[in-house]
Amino acid sequence: MEKEKRSVYKNVQMQFKKAADLMKLDPDIQKILSSTQNEIVVHFPVIMDDGSLEMFTGYRVQHNNVLGPYKGGLRFHPAVEIEEVRALATWMTWKSAIANIPFGGAKGGIHIDPDKYTTDELQRITRRFTFALGNNIGPEYDIPAPDVNTNAQIMAWILDTYLATMPPQDRQRSIHVVTGKPIEAGGSIGRGKATGQGVVFTIEEWSKDNDFDLGSATYFVQGFGNVGSWAARLLKPHGSKLIAVEDISGAIANPEGIDADELTEYVEKNRVIAGYPKAEAIDHETFLKTKADIFIPSALENQITAETAPMLDVKLVAEGANGPTDPDGDKVLQEKGIAVIPDILCNAGGVIVSYFEWLQNKRSEYWDIEEVDEKLYKKIVDAYKRVRDTAKEFDTDWRTAAYIVALAHLEVVYKERGIFP
Ligand code: GLU
């Protein structure tokens, strides 16, 4: 998982070009969508626990807002840099367009290894970053959410800092400035598991379409954070067997099955999967070569490449992560006949339930879990069917089909609205 990174933004541009050419996207609209709209880079000082001062760099890239306010997560990771954030912001535009939710695309983050800081320091870093972003975010303008290494607690600090900078009479009507908040602070029930739940809903649909029995299926998961652990846990009731897991600490396997709930409890206590007693440690290559039905990459970008894709021995790759497969990796998967549920469809459950949270905040409502799950199911399955049918119509791979669904939607809106002035 530590391999040198190709530019993920280049990957996005290659994926985009392939779909745009195939669907004959209007060349002017191609020009517009090939570029991001705004790129905010902030450098800000924070006092550490020992009294010393450190400078940090944070980003917010806003790719497009023709369908609605900019929307997307914030990640805290040492690999965060402008090209990566551009790619992630662009994927958010496609994701919202495919899911048919009224949001645009954005992404941001801080170039930081959060493990090196105390909770108090992380709180000050988060608050100072929020302050530095100022009115570049806002409840009807650009709405952050959790991503890699950020969570509901971090969203609560962003919320509190943002509200503290507003006139008192505007505070209560601005809590939808972030989603993925703790439930008590205005978050939605079901947002925590939403991305993993969406991954599992798409896998269920794929299984129905392919007469594939999830009850006897095996799967393995890369990344055991929010997305990976929820996807693993939510597949368990189907009777599918989790046989290997990898995270930053290494990989583990057990052909008899790893209990996803027990592993989640272990990770809650120990932070990583290493040392989990009911599995064997294996190396990265052995992990990738796991013979199974389904692989769920749920960590970082560029994991399935020309070098690693030949090692995969699965029927389906369900992309919980953003950008886990690069264009060379995609070619290999196609040659090997491995099906792919692409990231911008597969992991859209997170932003879909973020939309539900945003709506609940605006209407001062609290929906129950049945309502959230039912609405998520409907949205993501509709999106799944649009992508599946478009792949057939254009006789192309599912990633390209997912792009075509998104681009066709954006093209209509641009044509209706025209270009100012
Ligand atoms: N970070 C998540 C994603 O990549 C969720 C974004 C959101 O809810 O706005 O889709």
Number of helices and strands in the chain (H, E) = 15, 12
**Mean pLDDT, residues 210-218:** 98
How far is Cα 270 from Cα 8, in angstroms, rounded to an integer?
31
What confidence category does residue 4 fall into, taking pLDDT thresholds of 50, 70 and 90? low
> Binning pLDDT at 50, 70 and 90, where does residue 1 land?
very low
> Distance, CA 350 to ligand 1 centroid (Å)?
5
Q: Which of 18, 95, 107, 241 is catalytic?
A: 107
- DSSP class of residue 273 equals S
CA distance 362 to 4: 43
The per-residue pLDDT for 112 is: 98
Domains of the chain in start order, with CATH, are 38-185 (3.40.50.10860), 188-364+371-421 (3.40.50.720)
DSSP string, 189-233: TTTTTHHHHHHHHHHHHHHHHTT--GGG-EEEEE--SHHHHHHHH
68-117 pLDDT per residue, tens: 999 999 999 999 999 999 999 999 999 999 999 999 999 999 999 999 99
| Residue closest to 199 by CA, chosen among 228, 240, 238, 239 | 228
Predicted confidence band of residue 286 (pLDDT cuts 50, 70, 90): very high
Average pLDDT of the segment spanning 251-261? 98
How far is Cα 145 from Cα 195, in angstroms, rounded to an integer? 12
Q: Is 17 a catalytic residue?
A: no
Q: What is the Å distance from ligand 1's center to 387 Cα?
A: 20
Query: Given a cut of 80, is residue 2 above it in pLDDT?
Result: no
Residue closest via CA to ligand 1's atom 9 equals: 72
> Residues 288-316: what's their mean pLDDT?
98
192 lines ligand 1 (CB under 6 A): no
- Give the mean pLDDT of the chain: 97
pLDDT band at 252 (very low <50, low <70, confident <90, very high): very high
Q: Give the DSSP letter string of 236-269.
A: GGGT-EEEEEEETTEEEE-TT---HHHHHHHHHH
Structure pTM? 0.97
pLDDT of residue 6: 63
Cα 176 from Cα 312, distance rounded (Å): 41
